[in-house]
A and B are shown apart, each in its own frame.
Chain A
């Protein structure tokens, strides 16, 4: 069974803390993505990666960075968490970059920044 796993389902952090969200996929997929999902705003792409050590900015990269040292792992980093980064964070992967490729999502991490 294919799987995308995220390190935490729920996380509570304080303003100014550095936060790491980890995502691992076991499908040998080339592409990995980080989205955030907010009520009324839908899913918005933060960063994506199409290869190891490669990263590209999505629609809302400000305040975030990413790391992809291994093909199966894609990390999202909040260098200094702020309250407006309270959100549901979803990681996804896809086999290739072809339009129409299915994206497989993890269960999400609900992050609260106090």
Chain B
């Protein structure tokens, strides 16, 4: 059973469109992180959300943590080809050993923005 379910698995849209990707779980998380991975590279952290209901913005990217701290979403406005990549959500389940035990990752959303 996958602890963090990401949807959609694949998404291909035109430049300028808006999109939302989701990260869902039946478990409560102490925090959730979103990473972006480009081909041939390791994941790079975009944001960490900690408080239920929290909304964080990073230029055209808006991240939201669910009130119950079981889910998160990433919304991209006016997508650009440079947004292309694999978007991974990751977190530490509440009650686990903390971040020292390593993160639990979703399988990711492959996003392609076509010019």
Give me the interface of A with B, judged by CB distance under 8 Å. Answer: 4, 9, 30-31, 33, 35, 40-45, 48, 50, 56, 58, 90, 92, 94, 96-108
Contacts and interface: CB of A to CB of B under 8 A. Distances in A.
Contacts of B41: 107-108
B88 A43 contact: yes
B98 A105 contact: no
Given A100-B48, A105-B43, A107-B42, A41 B100 contact: no
Interface of B: 2, 30-31, 33, 40-45, 48, 50, 88, 90, 92, 97-103, 105-108
B6 to A, nearest CB: 8
Given A50-B100, A99-B30, A100-B92, 7 more contacts: A9-B40, A33-B102, A43-B88, A90-B43, A94-B100, A100-B30, A103-B43
Nearest to A90: B42
A56 B101 contact: yes
Contacts of B40: 9, 107-108
B7 to A, nearest CB: 13
Contact of A48 (B2, B48, B90, B102): B102
10 nearest CB pairs, A to B: A97-B100, A105-B42, A42-B107, A100-B31, A99-B92, A99-B30, A43-B105, A45-B102, A101-B99, A102-B45
Contact of A96 (B2, B43, B99, B105): B99
Contacts of B108: 42
B105 A98 contact: no
A33 B100 CA distance: 9
A102 B101 contact: no
